[in-house]
Amino acid sequence: MDVQGLRKAFGELEVLRGIDFSVARGEVVCVIGPSGSGKSTLLRCVNLLEEPSAGRVTVAGTEVTDPDVDIDRVRRRIGMVFQAFNLFPHLTALENLTIAQRRVLRRDRDEAERVARANLERVGLSDKASAYPAQLSGGQQQRVAIARALSMDPELMLFDEPTSALDPELVGDVLAVMRALAQEGMTMLVVTHEMSFAREVADRVVFMDGGVIVEEGTPEQVVGAPQHERTRTFLARVL
């Protein structure tokens, strides 16, 4: 994944003011930064949930920002996990995982269910296939949301503060699933305030403030020995 000269304005408000960075295949990059710095907008520009005002975004060799690109095709290869789990409340966990496979990837029922069960197992929820979202804890719902994204065979997974809405005792299970994914070689771009996760799992950390990347480097560099005052101020508040 590659972002060059990415800008995004909402009317007069410049939210992204020239972002350049890339995530190599199999790499895990964590994005940190204060509220309002443009982290969610950056993720949303990568899969064109927001249209960039300027710049280029390329995912797995396809330029997403090319006006001629079939964005639905690109989007189905990008898994996105939000703070809110966004599961269909009237569908079971298994059905939440099969519906897009069947409608978008045109998989038949048997194939979709096979993939769904494999991914429920991957997130430790084999026994919850017939549960409805309301019968699951927040952490379990988020793991179903991750399994749903994985069922589409994504080339890139975007996570936007996936544990921020969870009770503290449920955060660990979700981070463990993400850590396992990272170890399996998934390409991941993760917005998070979980500094221990960033330190242990990220190959690189990007610190954003005011719509720009202030600094980036290894976790040891950015979290362990930040060079910029703005990074130090932010870390002092979250650590």
Q: Is 13 exposed, middle or buried (0-12, 13-18, 19+ CB in 10 A)?
A: exposed
41 binds, among Mg ion, ligand ADP, none (CB under 5 to 8 A by kind): ligand ADP
149 binds, among Mg ion, ligand ADP, none (CB under 5 to 8 A by kind): none
Q: Closest CB to ligand ADP among 13 and 236?
A: 13
Chain CA centroid to CA 222, Å: 20
**Minimal distance in Å, beta carbon 39 to ligand ADP?**
3
Q: Closest CB to ligand ADP among 13 and 134?
A: 13
**Minimal distance in Å, beta carbon 51 to ligand ADP?**
11
**CB–CB of 100/145 below 8 Å?**
no
**34's tokens:** 């204060």
**CB–CB of 172/10 below 8 Å?**
no
Q: Closest CB to ligand ADP among 125 and 202?
A: 202
Footprint of ligand ADP (CB under 6 A): 10, 13, 15, 33, 35-41
Closest Cα partner for 182 from 208, 159, 206, 166?
A: 159
Specify the residue for token string 């026994």. 127
88 binds, among Mg ion, ligand ADP, none (CB under 5 to 8 A by kind): none
Footprint of Mg ion (CB under 5 A): 39-40
36 binds, among ligand ADP, Mg ion, none (CB under 5 to 8 A by kind): ligand ADP
Q: Closest CB to Mg ion among 40 and 140?
A: 40
Kindly give the pairing relationship between strand 212-217 and strand 2-10.
Answer: unpaired
